[in-house]
Amino acid sequence: MGKKGYNWKSRAITNVDVDNSTTKEIVLDIQHRAEDYDSCNALVLPSQKRKTKNIDKKVATTRLLSKKRRKQLEKVVERKKKKLQRAALLEDLAKVQATPAELKQYVSLTSLQNKGLKRHFRELETPVEKLKRKADDEEESDSTKITINSIKMSKKKRLAILNNIKQDEAKLDPNIVGFESSDSSDEDDSNNEEENEEHVPDNTTSNVSNEKTEINEKEGEKNLTKDVNKETTSIKLNNKRESKQSVEIRQQNVPKIHTPAVFIPVNRKSEIQAARLKLPVVAEEQVIVETINENPIVIITGETGSGKTTQVPQFLYEAGYAQNKLIGITEPRRVAAMSMSKRVAEELNLSEKEVSYLIRFEGNVTEETKIKFMTDGVLLKEVQSDFLLTKYSVIILDEAHERSVYTDILIGLLSRIVPLRNKRGNPLKLIIMSATLSVEEFVKNTRLFKIKPPIIEVKARQFPVKIHFNRTTSKDYVNEALQKAIKIHTRLPEGGILIFLTGQQEVHTVVRKLRKSFPLKKNKQPQIKVVKDSEKNEASEALDKERSEKGDSEDDSDDDFDAEEALRRNKRRQKKQIILPTINLDDYSISPTDDTHEDLINVQDDEDNWDEDEDEDEDVIDFKGLTNAQPLWVLPLYSLLPGHKQARVFEPPPEGCRLCVVSTNVAETSLTIPNIRYVVDSGRCKTRLYDKVTGVSTYHIGYASKAAATQRAGRAGRTRPGHCYRLYSSAVYDNDFEEYSQSEIQRKPVDDLLLQMKAMNIDKVVNFPFPTPPDIVQLKSAEKRLTILEALQPPSKKEEEIYCTKVTPLGRSIAAFPVSPRYGKMLALSYQHNLSKYTICMVAALSVQEVLIETFDMEGPTKSKWLQKRRYWAGTGNSLLLGDLMVLLRAIGTAEYAGSKGRLLPFCEENGLRHKAVIEIRKLRQQLTNEINLNIPNLNLIIDPKMPLPTDMQAKLLRQIVLAGMADQVAKKVLPGEIKEDQDKAKWKHAYRTPQMEEPVFMHSSCSLRKTSPEWVVYQEIYETNKMYMRGVTAIEPEWLPKFVPMLCRLSEPLVDPPPRYNPKTGKIICRVSGTFGKAGWALPSMDIEHPLTVDGVKWFAYFFLEGQVCPKLKRFVPSLLTTPGSITKSWAKLIPRTQAIVQTLQSQGVLSKDKLIEIWDSDKKFLLAVYQKWLPESAHAEVAQLWPPL
């Protein structure tokens, strides 16, 4: 049947029955012409249309139900069934329902929370009669509620008064928690009441106040309900507007929970109390404590020297925050943590057991500790084990403006920990202290703090500091600083000098020259009397006693004064002394009679303006002519200096000496050195820069920030007006100095940071609330390196876009060690073959900077002696190929042995080791040893001073472990044939290539592998000076790369020639492949590897199985095989059914080794029997079945 046409319903021929009943009823008066019409009555029509009826039967079409509609109807049926069964369910529940008497014995959770436990138990203890009396009183009070006045225009006044009364009742209701309002709101309410009372007429107020007024209460109640309904409707309309209010208004409406004030008495010494009162922060104690009590997060800003670090912990201690828990203070530097803990303990008059510090490898924390100073890295480790920091009541993050990596992470973590602790009813306070006002990144970051924390600004009561700029900016800022210090010392009045330089070497250079210029002299009154021999001996004895009190036998060389030598030198210079007459000052008047006052004013003017003509006074300073000037007490200060030498800057200088401290930026914010009046600012700082992609590090000396320059200048105005001499022009300051220095998290690789956060189950690090988030390129490079180290799972395409890869079990093991992820993997793998003790020693040495003293600037026999000793430590064979790491391993091992004999310091001096580094390595070895012993029970690893040298095989295994840790830091030597003609051959001579860079890298002259020059090496890091140099070089074999760095290797298919072979020792199939390494596609030599699990690999295993090489018991059946085993590897093997059967059976179980086959046979003895019998005649089937499995 074709398609139906247009209007087919109307044109269809149907059988219709017409109802003519209405037509027949019409009466016609046509008798006179009846013959003209017939019986059809055609000319007569009814007034309405006749009714018709279709006789044909309609075909009913039923619509099919869709799946969705069917499910909907089924759910309707289910609901109806449940309703029908509800009555039965209620009957069953009624049977097990508790009786009303039993229900009365229970207490609802809501009433318990609102009342509180104390009130609940108090009501239980009160007698029943008292409770009934109280209920009757409440009923009476309800009955005598305020009456309603019906006077005209009093409706609004009544509602206002009723509203105030209801609010008061709600406040006084002890069953409702948290409706206490502040004093200011109470005052406002009372003012409103007074205003209302003033406008209400006398009769109205009397009626309202009179509780027994006779009015119609019913009419009043009706009016009241109408007004309430009107108010509720208006409230509903205003809900939308109220929902748009800011978070700050909601915060204001939150009721304040008042807690009783706590005061812990402190017995301070009088002199300390007097010194505290001079600090600006002490005047703000009440404001600070009240703000901390009322807010979970507080930011305190103030100039360095205002006393924040030492006084805020004392405020909190006196406020009772250390009663049950700890007050934790983090510092970015270890020096500050140690010195501040001692200072706070001294001011509180407490012992070191109660005010302690904990830094890496060192600390004096006990169970009695109440105030704990620590580095930010220590607190981050505690967060990993105790995320909510339940031991602490307050966390203070000091020096937040320095923006160290760990401080930034702690701010992000604590911004989430603080609300969690508050929700659990165990509040934690967070205080962020910054020396500058650069807190916008904290305050304006809504992802960090949803509610803006209050900021307390402590204005430092600092003396004015005059800034002096140079007219020109000299490149030789070290010599410029030296000349400026000499001019200050020889021309200006008393006061300490603080010189800011960039590094340790510059500090020692200036210290050495200043000590030579102004050597230490005897204690005497200059130009009045000659020093006697007895006084000279007393001075030398005092200096000897002071040196002995240090308790250190270390030779200080350039760091300490040689007092005896200085005295002998002064004796030679002062052979001829002029005896001056004794002057009696009592013979002179107190007030000067001459123009001394004018001379003093001129001296002050010269002091302020002497830098104006400094460009004309650039003559070379004659050191010999300065020997008779006042001696200068010159002290170095930098982070690698031993602690007891750092502490000397806080001690007063010897009598008659001026203090001069030559420091790096350590003295910028972390420490406040007393009695500093003059600051010499070089304007430079040394920062370590990392390439975000390649990881190449270089130390760059550049201009500091304006904030750092301000901090340095502020050091001169702590005790009296001071001066800051900047060795650069004001134009350079305005144009080349940035406002604030870049945060550390944006300057260095974030591999360890990323792994630590992944280990804390923070998978989407991109979404972490960093104060300043790291660059996406940094995160992507870090994830790539950690994936190569197998610490993170390889990302899928979707995960790669959002950076949310997850940590592997190996990654969690690596994160447990307090070292870089590279070294953590080395430690995780070192348990095999009993190599842990050697790996721990290597990792500890690699983690500490500058273990071996550099010999760049040295000359003479000492340099050759040290280099010869290091070549001897390198050894031969695999020990030599271990390279620089073997030198460190033997150096530390020998130093430990010398330390056991009490000769550590002389050994370090004789062999060019840094004594402080060796001690730090020992502490790190102890920490790593304890960590491994905790994770691996029954290992009992110890630090053995007589640790034997690794054997040749152990040295080879250590090379493989180093390769596993430095997987992506592989370098290949550039062979002469690879150098192109257009390239500079001299540039690429002895050079190496790395996968990440196009520039050549080199081995340094001090590298132990420089003469050996292996083709393939791994390196610890690349640093840039005049060239790119590798540090920590170890030789490797290219055959190891596919095994230890599989992600960077691209291997070919197994070669046909030579064919795969079976290794009976390992029970695996070995094949030969070729391949490339890295993006550059460095060709790897042909090598033997385990055959990958493929169809071809299974065929070869089946071949060796049929040959009897896998199971020697099957060799006697080889001649009886129906088909030769070699046919299984042919391309036409699929045509033979028995070939396909054995291959498919092995492939289904993934069998590619003998160990796997034995594992299957342990559970299924008949595995492979039926398939193997197909290869044999039926006569041999029974014999094979008896010996199966053929092991």
Digit-coded pLDDT (tens) for 325-338: 999 999 988 888 99
Average pLDDT over residues 920-947: 85
Q: What is residue 1122's three-state secondary structure?
A: coil
Residues above pLDDT 70, as percent of the chain: 73
Cα(215)–Cα(234) distance, rounded to whole angstroms? 29
The pLDDT score that the predictor gives to residue 500 is: 94
CB 995 within 8 A of CB 1072: no
Q: Which of 398-412, 529-543, 939-953 has the lowest mean pLDDT?
A: 529-543
Higher pLDDT, 974 or 145: 974
User: What pLDDT shows up at residue 889?
Assistant: 92
Q: Which of 105-119, 362-376, 450-464 has the highest mean pLDDT?
A: 362-376
The answer to whether the 270-457 and 465-520+629-736 domains have the same CATH topology is yes
pLDDT at residue 495 in the model: 92
H helix or E strand, kind and range, residue 499: strand 496-500
> Would you state the pLDDT for residue 147?
44
CA separation for the pair 168, 189 (Å, rounded) = 10
- In DSSP notation, 553-592 reads ----TTSS--HHHHHHHHHHHTSS-PPPPP--GGGS-SS-
Please state the rounded mean pLDDT for residues 662-669: 85
Question: pLDDT by residue (tens digit) across 460-516?
Answer: 767 889 999 999 999 999 999 999 999 999 999 999 999 999 988 899 999 999 999
Weakest mean pLDDT among 310-314, 339-343, 911-915, 995-999: 995-999
Q: What is the pLDDT of residue 437?
A: 56
- Rounded (10°) angle between helices 376-385 and 405-423: 40
What is the structure's pLDDT at 355? Answer: 94
The reported pLDDT for the residue numbered 604 is 38
Across the range 48-62, mean pLDDT stands at 75
The pLDDT confidence band at residue 795, using thresholds 50, 70 and 90, is: confident
**Segment (H or E) for 1029:** strand 1028-1031
Lowest mean pLDDT among 148-162, 230-244, 760-774, 798-812: 230-244
The most confident of the ranges 105-119, 505-519, 614-628, 698-712 is: 505-519
pLDDT of 917 higher than 60: yes
Predicted confidence at residue 132, as pLDDT, reads: 56
pLDDT value for 257:
56
The 10 Å CB-count burial string (b at 16+, else e) for 32-48 is eeeeeeeeeeeeeeeee
Task: Please report the pLDDT score of residue 636 as a whole number.
Answer: 94
* Of 52-61, 414-423, 911-920, minimum mean pLDDT range: 52-61
- The mean per-residue pLDDT over the stretch 916-930 comes to 88
Tokens coding 812? 């969690």
Amino acid symbol at 460: A
Residues pairing with 1075 in the sheet: 1051, 1084
What's the pLDDT score for residue 252? 45
**What pLDDT score was predicted for residue 120?**
66
Confidence of residue 1092 (pLDDT cuts 50, 70, 90): confident
The model's pLDDT over 941-970, given as tens digits with 9 standing for 90+, comes to 888 888 899 999 999 999 999 999 998 899
Contact 936, 928 (CB under 8 A): no
Confidence check: pLDDT of 1149 > 70: yes
pLDDT over 60 at 236, yes or no: no
876 neighbors 870 (Cβ within 8 angstroms):
no
Fold (CATH) for 270-457: Rossmann fold (3.40.50)
The pLDDT mean for the chain works out to 77
- Give 26 or 384, the one with higher predicted confidence: 384
Among the residue ranges 155-169, 632-646, 1024-1038, the one predicted with the least confidence is 155-169
pLDDT given at position 149: 46
Does pLDDT of 207 surpass 70? no
Checking if the pLDDT of 249 tops 70, the result is: no
pLDDT of residue 558: 40
Sign of the alpha-carbon torsion through 569, 570, 571, 575: positive
DSSP 8-state assignment for residue 384: H
Over residues 538-545, the mean pLDDT reads 38
Distances (CA, A) of 318 to 264, 267, 285, 286, 885: 5, 11, 11, 11, 52
Distance CA 636, CA 506 (A): 10
**Quick one: average pLDDT of 282-302?**
92
The residue that leads in pLDDT, 681 or 222, is 681
pLDDT mean over 973-978:
81
Evaluated on CA atoms 958, 961, 965, 969, the torsion sign reads positive
Average pLDDT, stretch 558-586?
45
Q: What angle do CA 1034, 1039, 1040 make, to 5 degrees?
A: 55
Summarised one tens digit per residue, pLDDT across range 871-903 is 889 888 899 999 999 999 999 999 999 988 888
Question: Quick one: pLDDT at residue 856?
Answer: 64
What is the reported pLDDT for 694?
Answer: 66
Give burial (CB, 10 Å; 0-12/13-18/19+) of 525.
exposed
Mean pLDDT of 789-796: 85
Secondary structure of residue 1034 in the 3-state scheme: strand
The 10s digit of each residue's pLDDT in 424-441 is: 989 999 999 987 656 777
> What pLDDT score was predicted for residue 34?
55
> pLDDT: is 688 or 493 the higher one?
493
Work out the pLDDT band at 866, boundaries 50, 70, 90.
Answer: confident
Q: Is the pLDDT of residue 557 over 60?
A: no
What's domain 465-520+629-736's superfamily in CATH? P-loop containing nucleotide triphosphate hydrolases (3.40.50.300)
Domain boundaries, the chain: 270-457, 465-520+629-736, 809-1048, 1093-1190
Please, which residues bridge with residue 954 across strands?
Answer: none
Q: Say whether pLDDT at 205 is over 50.
A: no
Q: Which amino acid is at 1059?
A: P
Nearest Cα to Cα of residue 644 among 724, 547, 533: 547
